[in-house]
Every structure is written in C-alpha cells, then in structure tokens.
Amino acid sequence: MKTAISKIQAEENFALGALKISGWLIVSVLIFIIGYIFYYGLPEVLSWHYLFTPPEGGRHDNGGILYQILATIYLIIGSLIVAAPIGVFAAIYLTEYAPQNFITTLIRFAIENLAGIPSIIYGLFGLAFFVIFLKFEYSLLAGALSVSIMVLPVIIRTSEEALKSVPQAFRQSSLALGVNKWQTISKVVLPSAFPGILTGILLSIGRIVGESAVLILAAGGSITAIPRFVSTTYPYVLPDSARTLAVHLYYQATSYDARAKAFATGVVLIFIVLFLNWCINQISKGYRKKLAVR
Amino acid sequence: MQETKIKKYFEKKEKRFWSSFVNLFMEQLFFLSASVAVISLFLITAYVFYNGFKLFQFVPVTDFLFGFDWDPVTQKLFGVFPMIIASCYVTVGALVISAPLGIACAIFLAEIASPATQQVIRPAVQLLSGIPSVVFGLFGLAFIVPLIQDVGDVAGLSILAAIIILSIMILPTIISISEDAIKAVPKELKESSIALGTTKWQTILGVVLPASSSGIVTALILSVGRAFGEAMAVKMVIGNTQTMPDFSPQTGFGLLSLARTLTTNIVGDIEYAEPGPHLSALFATGAILFLFIIIINATSYVCLRRNSVKSNS
C-alpha cells in the first residue's frame, strides 16, 4: 500500500515537473532567439546611422535601411486604408445585421478559409491578379492590396469579438430613444467597441510588418530608389517596387556577406513587434479596468 | 410665425429623410464589405487554379504530380513529387516535436501555473507568435544550421533545420488553442474527479485531456496548416535542392539531407521564372499546396463541428 502511494506520488511529481519544464522551456527558447538576434544586431542599430541612411546595395549591402523603413510604413498605410474599413464594416454586418441564411454562412465560410490560406498563396494571387492582370507591375500597391486581403480575416474576427462584447442593453436603450440603426451603431456601439477594434488593427499591423512571401511575389525588391507614395503615371498610388524590412532581411540573410546586417534589421522588426504587443496589452488592461468600474 | 413653423417642419422632415437614407446606404455598404471576403476567396481560388492548369497544356498531370525531376529551364521537366514528400516530412517532423511540448505547456498554463507565472509565459507565447518568419529563418540560418554542420559534419542546410524552426513557429498556435480547449472543461468534471481522491496529474490525464481532446486535435490540425504553408523560414534553412531527399540511414533517414518543399519551390524560382510553362508550373505548385491546405482546413472544420455538436447535446 505504502509503496503504491509513493509510486503515485513519484509519478505525480515527475509529470507535474515535466509540464513545468515544458512551459519554461518555451520561454527560454524565446529569450534565446531574441537574445541571439539582439547580441549581433543591437550595436549596429544603436549607432542610429543604420536607421537613417539610404541603402547602397552591393555585395556587402553598405548603407542603412531608411528606404526599407519608408516602404514598410507605406505598406502599412496602404493596406490598412483598404483593409481596416472593409474589415470593420464586414464585422458590423456580421454582428448587427446578418440574417441566418445561406449568404451569411457563405461569408463566414469565406472568412474561415481566408484565415487558413498560407501567405505564399496570397503572393501568387497578387502576382497573377494585381501585377499581371491589372498591370500594376511589381509595386507596393500590388503588395499592399494582396496583404490587405490577407489581414482581412484578422480584422474581421477581432472586430466581431469587440462588437459582440458590447452589451445588448446599450443598443436597446439607444434604439428606444427613437434613433435609427446606423446612428446607434456609429454613436453607441462603435465607440464602446473601439479598443477591441484597435487591437485587431494593431495585430494586423504586426502581420503586415512581418510579411515577406507575399511581397517578394507581388511587390518586387528594388532598393536603391526612394519609394513614392503617389505618382502621375499608372498605377498612381504606391507605384514603385520596394523592399519592406522583412523582405530586406530575407535578402540580407541569404547573401553571406550581408548577414551581419540582417541581425540589425531583425532587431528593428523585433522592436516593432514588442511595441505592438505592449500597445495591445495596455489596451486590454484599460478595457478590463473600464469593465470592472462598470 | 406660421412661416418659420413650416420651414422648421420641412427642415425636420429633410433631416429625417437624410438620416434614414444614410441608414439604408450604410446597411448596403456593410453588406458589400462582408461580400469582399467571399469575392476575394473566389478570385484567389480561381486565379491560382486557372494559372496552374495552364501548365497541363505542356505537361501531363501525372508527370507533374509524380515526376521526380524538376528542371524547368533546360530540360523542361516539372516533377514536384519530391517536394510533396519533403513538405509532408517537414510538417510531420515539426508536429512530432511541438505537439507534446505545446500541449504540455497549454496544460501547465491552464491548470498548474500560478497567476504570476502565467503573466510571464502568456506574453512570451504571444510574442513568439508575433515574430516574423524571416527572423526565425535568420536565427535558423545563423545558429541552427552551423550547429548541425559542426555536429553532423554535413552541409547544415537540411530538413532537420527546417523541422526545428517550424516546430518553434507552430508552438503558439498549438498552445493558445489547446489552452482555450482545456480551460473550457467544466469545473464540475474536474472537481468530481478530485473528489474521488485522484491526484492532479491523474485528473489531467483521465479527465481534462479526454474532455478537451477535440479542441486539442483542432489546434494540431491548424498548426499542420501553418507548417505546411510556411515559405520564407523554411526556404532559408532547407537548401532548396531539386533532388529527392536521401532517406538512407547515413543521412539520419533524410533528416540531414537537403530538400525543397512546395512553398520553397515557389519562392526560390519566382525570381527567374519566365512567363510560360515555368511560371505556370509555379502556379500549379501553389495549386497543389492550396489543395493540401483545403483538405487540412476541411478536416479542422469537421472537428470543430463535431465538437460544438457534442457540447450542445
């Protein structure tokens, strides 16, 4: 009896210990990866020169990443201008209007599937549709439009969650005052759901910044010219081929002589992700506080 | 006096007309936005498959699917069979490493860890899911590949390196979805098990895991989809050779040999593919990849369905 109990006890300790180790193992892997990238990349970034000089190209990739930062910012703006309104509107339709019918099922099915498609497929689509069929050539515009379809499910899902969490009583009391549905949505529902929607947009910025496969296929990779936001020739908006930070990192890392620079670009990317995560956590903290007060 | 009253009346009426017009207009706009998802999915499917099928004017389907050689420029050979095998190999390998680790971490987070510990591990998992795939690729290229090179006295770029990188990348998917599934197990179930005098581990093994199994399976299937579709990180560490991986024991049953997956075929060749059979072959590769992903997604959909039916009854 006693040995049986001690055997169970031993098994218990061993199993719980293993679970604990696996949890901490993942944290240490993360810390190791980030530490490794920072160890080799941080000195270059801290010299600031790297961030604010234009790239010169060449085998050793002299110069900095100013144009890549610019291209990344353009890409974020370009994709969000398209994806954010469409995503939020779609979420509003799904939570506030959608009847239980075939079309709604189809929309939900489409969103589920879009979320599961790998980015390389979005890249192929961008290449076939935007670059070749619509004749955008390799351009940030083609990249931004492909990426905006890719982040659409992210924005729709998080916005939907946010809209669902707005109490039904808010809507009813607004409607009882005699205002119509759009006024209720714009004045009551959207403001209360705003933090959640913002979270979705920040998440999708993270996806956009980290995306590389789509952009290699749809946005091309020229580096030495400064990308323009608008132009007088077709396709007018974001017309230039450009490398974002993630794509630049890929080219740097795969050419042996420029790999040291890739770590610096990696540090910049990790900083962006850290900053976005910090923002998201702050928002959800504030949101929880607000709910607690209520 | 009368006049201002009438004027006010019409102003009010006009305002009401406009607001109801905007109301109706916005409803249509919302519907259109939601339809964008359907249209996009349709266009993506149509374009990828249409462009891929163009290849079969030049090459028979069986030569494409089961051909062993990929030499699109000189010999015009478009066989992707080794890539299909490599894609499956890499995915299964990543799952073998990260499934136990991820599920264990999810159990730890949901059942054992103190709130303070959770506040360390959960942001770490969140951060892990946010790190761009090229950064993982860089880490693999700079750290794991040289490590394999030194230990195994081989090229370093290998299936094993891809498996290691992928297994790290799919961990967050497994952990977060499994954790949700484990947390959804009713408290009564766990308490009645504890009341029978079982230990915590016995409760986890005997009650919590079986009750959350379909959620955990969904997590695994979704992570399979992610691993199968990952392009950049794998491209950076797998070497991207056209040949069939060498499955002899000398190369660790293929682990240490170089390979090319479906995704890396697209990324690697797109830079020099000429319009014509070569570009079509890349689209066809994408179509095969897409088919695999559709099957994986459908499986997870069925799993979720079964899950929700079960919890409703």
The predicted-structure confidence for B106-138, as pLDDT tens digits, reads as follows 999 999 999 999 999 999 999 999 999 999 999
Considering the segment(s) A49-293 as one domain, its CATH architecture is Orthogonal Bundle (1.10)
Looking at residue A128, what DSSP letter applies? I
Among B124, B294, B301, beta carbon nearest to A26: B124
Domain boundaries, chain B: 2-57, 61-312
Query: Hey, are the CB atoms on B108 and A23 less than 8 Å from each other?
Result: yes
Binned at pLDDT 50, 70 and 90, residue B313 comes out as very low
Question: Average pLDDT of B186-212?
Answer: 91
Structural class in CATH, domain B61-312: mainly alpha
Question: Average pLDDT of A94-99?
Answer: 92
pLDDT single digits (tens) B66-118: 989 898 888 888 999 999 999 999 999 999 999 999 999 999 999 999 999 99
A205 touches chain B (CB under 8 A): no
Residues sharing a CB contact under 8 Å with residue B281, sequence separation 6 or more, in sequence order: B55, B59, B64, B72, B78
Contacts of B142 in chain A (CB under 8 A): 36, 40, 253, 259, 263
A248/A68 Cα distance (integer angstroms): 7
The yes-or-no verdict on residue B308 having pLDDT over 70 is no
Contacts of B182 in chain A (CB under 8 A): none
Q: Which of A263, A234, A220, A287 is nearest to A43 (CA)?
A: A263
pLDDT single digits (tens) A129-141: 999 999 998 999 9
Question: Average pLDDT of B41-58?
Answer: 93
Category of B275 on φ-ψ map: left (φ > 0), alpha (ψ -120 to 50) or beta? beta
Contacts of B124 in chain A (CB under 8 A): 26-27, 30-31
Q: Give the model's pLDDT for residue A82.
A: 96
Distance from CA of A34 to the nearest CA of B (A): 9
Question: Average pLDDT of B242-256?
Answer: 82
Q: Which of A59-63, A184-188, A246-250 has the lowest mean pLDDT?
A: A59-63
Among B33, B51, B236, beta carbon nearest to A86: B33
Q: Give the model's pLDDT for residue A158.
A: 95
Among A11, A112, A263, beta carbon nearest to B201: A11
Q: Which of B174, B170, B167, B165 is nearest to B109 (CA)?
A: B174
Query: Hey, are the CB atoms on A30 and B23 less than 8 Å from each other?
Result: no
* Long-range contacts formed by B122-127: CB under 8 A, 24+ apart: B123/A277, B123/A281, B124/A26, B124/A27, B124/A30, B124/A31, B125/A26, B125/B171, B125/B172, B125/B175, B125/B176, B126/A277, B126/B172, B127/A30, B127/A273, B127/A274, B127/A277
The yes-or-no verdict on residue A292 having pLDDT over 90 is no
